[in-house]
Amino acid sequence: MGDINVLSVLMRWLHISGAVVAVGGSVFALIALLPAMRGLSDEIRSDLHEAIRKRFAMLFMISVTALLVSGFYNYLLNEIPQHKGDGLYHGLMGAKILLAFVVFFLGSALVGRAAAFEGIRRRRKRWMTVNILLALIIIALAALLRAMPNTT
């Protein structure tokens, strides 16, 4: 075993932590929070939703930032050199990155307040489900990419 690159370990930890927070929070909201809020009056549900939205929006944006910074660090400095010339690896990584941007967009639309995305928020359950399914595909791609042998 060679020397451990502490920055690379930190960036991998940051990446996984960001994904756990963003995806885990979404799964909790879809499976536990939204159904539990159904029995509340409209006023209480609206107030509770706004209080949670404010907090989770900040956490979600921090998680997205962590994922972007750590993801590009990991890919550019670690993965590209280890998979030079491996078209399948880079194609799958490109698909993972594109799907991640869709997840970031949908998550931002769901936790944001922009009027342009009110239609997405009105169909919150549908779009949260889609977003979680996309995140699960990204996790599956990450597992596949991690299992692919280095070309160097």
pLDDT tens across 73-125, in order? 999 999 999 999 999 999 999 999 999 999 999 999 999 999 999 999 999 99
pTM here?
Answer: 0.92
The pLDDT value given to residue 152: 77
The pLDDT value given to residue 64: 97
Q: What is the mean pLDDT of the chain?
A: 95
The CB density around residue 18, as the number of other CB atoms within 10 Å, is: 21
Question: What is the pLDDT confidence band of residue 1, given thresholds at 50, 70 and 90?
Answer: low
Under 8 Å between Cβ of 65 and 21: no
Under 8 Å between Cβ of 69 and 95: no
Under 8 Å between Cβ of 106 and 130: yes
Q: What 3-state DSSP class applies to 1?
A: coil
